A and B are shown apart, each in its own frame.
Chain A
Amino acid sequence: MSGETPTTVDDVDIGSPPAVSDPEPMHSRRREFLVVVSLYVASIVFALVISAVLVAATGGSWRAVFSAMLDGSLRAPGRWGTTIGVAIPLLVVALGTTISGRAGLVNIGQEGQVLIGAAFAAYIGVRVGGPGPIVLLCLLVGGAIGGAIWSGIAGALRYWRGVPEVLTTLLLVTVAFQATGYGLKNEDLLLAPFRGDRSVRNPVSEQLSETERIPRINIFGNEFPISAFAAVLMAFALVFLFRRTLWGFRLRMFGQNARTARRAGVSNVKYGMGAMLLSGGCAGLAGGMMLSGGDFGDYKFTPGLSNGIGWDGLLVALVARERPVLIIPMAFGFAGLRTGSGFLAATGVERQISSVVQALLVLALLIPPAILFIRSRRRALAATRART
């Protein structure tokens, strides 16, 4: 707005104060806060009402659905432990997505990265011998490397061939499913050796031995793996990295304006590839945690082990608007929708309703920030107009 500075005294309106500086800032701030909160509440309610209408329209009772969801995620014995178990990979995937998001990259292939990570972890867990905890560490690192390789393909194509990473990450999801499916058909790769006790061979890997599993703790009958604490620690570590380190600052600069960042000495390839590898690595680590955590697949690698966790983790990151601390409650909430939907069978409502609710929530939660942004833009424009 540099061109719009008043040049003569007549241009400056002294009678009324400029619209930007409010006479009652305290009052205005409270009002602003109320507007923000009510916008968010309204959009969440809107999403839930649409879901309720959908349930009612197909002959279900939304009260029963709501109650069953609460039972399945929190109230029934042992359920909130299960919900935490599901929330762990969601959280880790979402943290990884935050890193690529900060760098302005759109990695939306977490589902495939989780699956590849879990496959790498399963291979290492079954093949590598040695003391359990060390194998466990190896398989988690291996999972992270697997995920990083998968996202690294997309990153490499982005920086060396100019292919949009949005597209390649998506296309690689299907390839990941087929690749792991191939691995589960070969005994050299993932398939459990034939024991001759069953006529039909299921495509599953061997089970991780007891010492190679993440220990589980039990609180009031609620069991969950201790990787929960590690995941929460990761979230806070990421906050620290973003806010207090040069890397975090440069990453954000790179994400907001790659050209400026390059002028300031931030290598685009280095930071872009780094963010891509880290986000895929987190997804792969989540896959390793799913395999060795016990809430998915009974410590065996199965064809659909990722089970939509990659997609949901991505949604968690989007809903939390890429703030690591907000991701923790969001991951728990989305995990609750998932574990809650397991109790829906009794109500006669299809369990896909939970993914409808999730997507509606994501869409609805996109609206308030957009409205607030437009509002602040309009105000700024009005303020400049008032001044000139």
Chain B
Amino acid sequence: MGGFFSAAGDVLSNEVSYDAAMRFAVLLVFAGIGETIAERAGTLNISVEGMILGGAFSGAMGMDIAMSQGLGVSGAVAVGLVFAVAAGVAVASAQANMSHRLTANQFVVGLAINILVLGMAAFLNSNLQPVTRAAPSVKIPLLADIPLLGGALFDQTWPLYLVYPLVPMAWWLLYRTRWGLEVRSVGENPQAADVSGIDVNRRRREAIYVAGMTSGLGGGYLVLGQVGSFEGSIVGGQGFIAIAAVIFGGWTLRGVVAGCLLFGTVNSFRLTLGPLGHDVNSELLSSAPFLVTIVTVAIFAHRSQAPKALARPFIRGLN
């Protein structure tokens, strides 16, 4: 127990650990935001893992292509991020159209998409082998000098900063626009929404497209802003953790972001505990994010109200 507290103390007093936690959490925030919107519309979208991976690979390809055209690193990263978003949307269109146009089972579709993207990324990666570089760090003056947290929040690669405007934008979209209201109504009571003239499955498809955009962007950030190069196991189940963060956060954006920060922190222990001189079992560390996720979700899932029509297909006249 003493070891645990000294480790916790070391982690809490070290700037590096905040920095690593932030970098892990941001990917989850990117994916978690989109996943929240998709789930509010009624889709438990497990293809978020595939969206991130597709975005990551496509982002790497985009950067490779842009660099070979003679663009600078930052320009190439920007091109890569555009590619990443496009790939996320492509994966989303498969999920959306198969589960909310053809009304195939959304889990079956999502699972098949995940396996397809995993195989496709591995196959294309070994054939094309995109060459990438990490985006440059940008230090925001003054703010980056805040002790402990400053470096983590304001001295990072620039794709990470995209997450700051994204969260309020998602909030505005979900809670302050007509579209957002319709999305939420479609997830709560699709019959009522249908009767009042909302195209239920269309709103659900659009929500999945939004999830594809943010998750694809997250994948682009993962490969270009965090890791710097692509490999097939780069995502490694973090998409599923993002889904858990949505449940943990009770389907509200504030809670989801908190969940992402928590799970990202646990995830970062893999990198931070070793260098700080704490010898923790490596298997335990690698499975810690998943175990913590399961335990916390088991504690908190009961408290919050899931969208009523979550994971239920809508077919007019059948429900």
Q: Point out residues on A near B: beta carbons under 8 Å.
A: 54, 58-59, 106, 108, 157, 161-164, 166-168, 170-175, 178-179, 181-182, 185, 311, 314-315, 318, 350, 352-356, 358-360, 362-363, 366-367, 369-371, 373-374, 377, 381
Contacts and interface: CB of A to CB of B under 8 A. Distances in A.
Which secondary structure dominates where chain A touches chain B? helix
B298 A163 contact: yes
B115 A178 contact: no
B123 A170 contact: no
A349 B105 CA distance: 33
Nearest to B121: A352
A70 B197 CA distance: 53
Contacts of B208: none
Contacts of B11: none
Interchain residue pairs A-B with the least CB separation, the first 4 = A359-B116, A355-B119, A370-B102, A178-B287
B124 interface: yes
Given A167-B243, A174-B287, A381-B317, A373 B103 contact: yes
Residue of A172, A175, A318 ringed by the most chain B CB atoms within 10 A: A175
A344 B309 CA distance: 46
Contact of B107 (A108, A168, A356): A108
Interface string B276-319: 00000101101100110110011101100000000100010110
Nearest to B115: A359
Contacts of B236: 174
A157 to B, nearest CB: 5
Interface residues of B, number: 50
Given A161-B298, A171-B237, A370-B98, A356 B120 contact: yes
Contacts of A359: 112-113, 115-116, 119
Contacts of A157: 294, 298
B126 A179 contact: no
A54 B317 contact: no
A174 B290 contact: yes
Given A108-B107, A350-B126, A366-B104, A171 B116 contact: no
B53 interface: no
Contact of B111 (A108, A171, A367): A108
Interface of B: 44, 46, 94, 98, 102-105, 107-109, 111-113, 115-116, 118-120, 122-124, 126-128, 236-237, 240-241, 243-244, 247, 281, 283-284, 286-287, 290-291, 293-294, 297-299, 301-302, 311, 315, 317-318
With most chain B CB atoms within 10 A of its CB, the pick from A356, A360, A369, A374 is: A356
A171 B240 contact: yes
A34 B286 CA distance: 52
A307 B61 CA distance: 28
28 contacts: A58-B127, A106-B107, A157-B294, A157-B298, A161-B298, A162-B301, A163-B294, A164-B247, A167-B247, A168-B297, A170-B237, A170-B240, A171-B241, A175-B290, A178-B283, A178-B284, A181-B283, A311-B115, A315-B112, A318-B108, A350-B126, A355-B115, A363-B116, A366-B104, A366-B105, A366-B109, A370-B98, A377-B317
Chain B CB within 10 A, most for which of A161, A178, A369 = A178
A363 B126 contact: no
A155 B104 CA distance: 24
Nearest to A108: B111
A356 B112 contact: no
A163 B297 contact: yes
Contacts of B293: 171
Contacts of B118: 355
Contacts of A172: 290, 294
A174 B237 contact: yes
Given A106-B107, A173-B237, 9 more contacts: A58-B127, A164-B44, A170-B240, A182-B281, A356-B119, A356-B120, A356-B123, A359-B116, A370-B98
A374 B102 contact: yes
Contacts of A54: 120, 123
A54 B113 CA distance: 16
Contacts of B120: 54, 356
Nearest to B105: A366
Given A350-B123, A355-B119, A356-B120, A377 B315 contact: yes
Contacts of B104: 366-367, 369-370
B317 to A, nearest CB: 7
A186 to B, nearest CB: 10
Contacts of A173: 237
A318 B112 contact: yes
A5 B247 CA distance: 44
B122 A363 contact: no
Contact of A363 (B112, B124, B237): B112
Nearest to A164: B44
Contacts of A106: 107
Contacts of A58: 123-124, 127-128
A212 to B, nearest CB: 27
Contacts of A161: 298-299, 301-302
A62 B287 CA distance: 40
A367 B123 CA distance: 25
Given A54-B123, A167-B247, A179 B287 contact: yes
